[in-house]
A and B are shown apart, each in its own frame.
Chain A
Amino acid sequence: MRRIIAILLENEPGALSRVVGLFSQRGYNIETLNVAPTEDPTLSRLTLTTVGDDKHIEQITKHLHRLVDVVKVIDLTGGAHVERDLMLIKVRAVGAQREEIKRTTDIFRGQVVDVAPNVYTIQLTGTTDKLDSFVSAMAEMDILEVVRSGVAGISRGDRVLRL
């Protein structure tokens, strides 16, 4: 089962490599990883997605807690949460394709953020599924480049992850 784990991490050199190292060292997979400093510059917020059963995830969570740089860990999957992935996708757009690409982008509530004579660059945010569907919808087109931020997640309502 796919899991979203959110981590508050000391914003220290080497802290991220400890988290990433833990996953490879213990034989766990990271599907996506998103990390940036928070409003408190001494802390980074990390969201990662992985796949595993309950026992697996419990063990990962325990090992993450053991890392001295890790301040807080939660598994967002269980509770209500919002998750967003950001995608920038560059496609060849010539002739009739231009109109069709624009239409599909509108349906997915994406935006064309850059236009060149033969190329559109489209920005899209949403869940992983939504972005995957968009890529499928574009399968007929000539996709030149795809870049995704990885999932960023936050729980709904009162539940917060902070010091």
Chain B
Amino acid sequence: MELLSGGEMIAQALKDEGVEFIFGYPGGAVLHIYDALFKSDGGVPHVLVRHEQAATHAADGYARATGRPGVVLVTSGPGATNAITGIATAYMDSIPMVVFSGQVASHLIGEDAFQETDMVGVSRPIVKHSFMVRHASELPETIKKAFTLATTGRPGPVVIDIPKDITRPDEKFEYHYPESVRMRSYSPAQRGHTGQIKKAARMLLGARRPMIYSGGGVILGEASDLLVALAKHLNYPVTNTLMGLGAYPGSDPQFLGMLGMHGFYEANTAMHNADVILAVGARFDDRVTNTVSKFCPGAKIIHIDIDPASISKTVPADIPIVGPVREVLTELIAQLDKIQAGEPEPLPDPDALARWWQQIEEWRGKHGLWSGRRYGESDYIMPQQVIESLYRATAGDAYVTSDVGQHQMFAAQYYRFDKPRRWINSGGLGTMGFGLPAAMGVKLAFPDSDVACVTGEGSIQMNIQELSTCKQYNTPIKIINLRNNYLGMVKQWQDMQYEGRYAMSTYEDSLPDFIKLVEAYGHVGMQVRKLADLDAAMDEAFAMRDRLVFLDVFVDPMEHVYPMHVAPNGSMKDMWLSKNERS
């Protein structure tokens, strides 16, 4: 057996775990670890960000795009607390991540030592689990446990807090990295309950107005192919949550678009009128349901989720199925086949289904997002047009990260994601500043693919320092800034609920010259003000394969995101369709 120091063990364990990148930032408490990484032969490459928040978002973007856990290394105190927003972002969207945080030496803990923060305590509500390492010999098993927890069951971030003395170079211990670990108190469901799945199959086949409502869990559980197989098998309509976009192909005719607060009219209306809803890996978020007591009044609900705590949390399920989506869907499809083969009459009732589709087509034709031009006209470029141009320029096949705000919703609505893991955004926490570092992580994972970051002039400034990291590691992403000169989403609410009082949602004349700014970082900046120039600029940006391009597109500052649920007290079907039109 090898003898290694704690620092060397961490470097070696990451290699043994097959980690591709470490995103991090050094400091006193982790210097032994950094030195071990430096000396490690053929060790895991490390990406030096410019702010620890960006390390977590970059690792998160990497994880969302690849399905593999993101890895972060930060120092104690301010390094650790800077990472908190990114950990919380990953937690809310169930993203696998392992965060190594340095800690002051064991004998100093609790003494308000220099750069001491109780990281295990501070991060407790936003991690799947956390460890404080007490002896170097615990490291291999603890690290294996952390990766196991982060990536199995309902994924999530795991923190390993490591006092500095544990990583001392002069104290060496036996190192053996375990193949697997068991934790007696941890056993996520491996398959669904067969009886429940049979019941669900019956209920699905008896449906007359069915809907499949699928979410991020289908992507996390790598089950898009099965979702498509199920929907095709039954010819049932599908809607995705913001987190589920791409789990079902966005350009498929059975896809009704996103549902929820800014969901498509056809998706929300069909949900409201459904008699059976199959919820798969979706958690009935309040951005989806609108007023819970008015949610889909006539619907029976089948709910598949690996986390029992997601089931019946807000909306009670009629048939709960706890289990991993791949295994459950496989069994469900087999049960459907079996029941259908044993019935003399065709199931589901073809006439009822035809009528349902007819009704849906009517809704689609009336106010559907693709029923015609759904946005207004002005002297400005409309933000929706920018996303349409991006879609065209990238043939719908880019990785698109986004920040938070109106631009995020326009991207979600207008970029039709056909594949899972292509749409990368912060849904649960809604973290402005996510987009740029996340795009960095994605581009490092897929250097040959188009990676675009759709952002706003507000959000981009929350982690703009990462332009420097992009320079250092040559990540030629395309930043598409939907420049409306407002904190647009805030302004929209102020227009709708505060009679247009723009309290702190404008920057007056203080915005930087973004072109000069990105040039100062060594990148290319382009400004677009006229619609006639948009497509050419977009193509030019993507044609520069090896340069980061910042496209500053001036869009209509007065535009709102529609549809938008009527709140408070509205149901799924109650929407604003434009500034003066309601469903």
Contact = CB atoms under 8 A, between A and B. Distances in A.
A21 B312 CA distance: 22
B128 interface: yes
A70 B185 contact: yes
B193 to A, nearest CB: 16
Given A10-B185, A71-B185, A66 B309 contact: yes
Contact of B185 (A58, A59, A69): A69
A1 interface: no
Contacts of A160: none
B120 A14 contact: yes
Interface in A137-163: 163
Secondary structure call for the A interface:
helix
Interface in B121-143: 121, 124-125, 128-130, 132
A13 interface: yes
Contact of B132 (A14, A18, A21, A62): A14
Given A13-B132, A14-B132, A66 B184 contact: no
Contacts of B128: 68
A68 B313 contact: no
A58 B309 CA distance: 9
Interface in B182-223: 183-186
A118 interface: no
A17 interface: yes
Contacts of B125: 21, 25
A63 interface: yes
A103 interface: no
Chain B interface mostly helix, strand, loop or mixed?
mixed
Interface in A31-72: 55, 58-59, 62-63, 65-66, 68-71
A69 B127 CA distance: 13
Interface in B438-470: none
Contacts of A68: 128-129, 149, 183, 185-186
Contacts of B130: 14
A66 B91 CA distance: 14
Contacts of A10: 185
B350 interface: no
A60 to B, nearest CB: 10
Contacts of B149: 68
A55 B121 CA distance: 29
Interface string B308-320: 1100110000000
Contacts of A62: 308-309
Interface string A59-103: 100110110111100000000000000000000000000000000
Residue of B121, B124, B185, B313 most packed against chain A (CB within 10 A): B185
B307 interface: yes
A59 B184 CA distance: 22
A113 B121 CA distance: 40
A55 B311 CA distance: 11
A25 B309 CA distance: 15
A106 B190 CA distance: 56
B309 A21 contact: no
Nearest to A24: B125
B124 A21 contact: yes
Contacts of B308: 62, 65
Contacts of B129: 68
Interface in B290-337: 307-309, 312-313
A65 to B, nearest CB: 7
Contacts of B307: 66
Nearest to B184: A71
Contacts of B183: 68
Contacts of A71: 184-185
Contacts of A17: 121, 124
Contacts of A66: 307, 309
A157 to B, nearest CB: 25
Nearest to B185: A71
A163 B182 CA distance: 14
Contact of B184 (A14, A25, A65, A163): A163
B185 A18 contact: no
A25 B132 CA distance: 21
B309 A59 contact: yes
A63 B307 CA distance: 9
A21 B124 CA distance: 8
A65 B307 CA distance: 10
Nearest to A65: B308
A59 B313 contact: yes
Nearest to B145: A68
A39 B125 CA distance: 30
A47 B226 CA distance: 43
Nearest to A63: B309
Nearest to B307: A66
B406 to A, nearest CB: 31
Nearest to B126: A25
Interface in A3-22: 10, 13-14, 17-18, 21
Interface string B227-245: 0000000000000000000
18 contacts: A10-B185, A14-B120, A14-B130, A14-B132, A18-B124, A21-B124, A21-B125, A59-B309, A59-B313, A63-B309, A65-B309, A66-B307, A68-B128, A68-B129, A68-B149, A68-B183, A68-B185, A71-B184
Q: Which 8 A-B pairs have the closest CB atoms?
A: A62-B309, A71-B185, A68-B129, A62-B308, A25-B125, A68-B186, A63-B309, A21-B124
Given A17-B124, A68-B185, A71-B185, 17 more contacts: A14-B120, A14-B124, A14-B130, A18-B124, A21-B124, A25-B125, A55-B312, A59-B309, A62-B309, A63-B309, A66-B307, A66-B309, A68-B129, A68-B149, A68-B183, A71-B184, A163-B184
Interface of A: 10, 13-14, 17-18, 21, 25, 55, 58-59, 62-63, 65-66, 68-71, 163
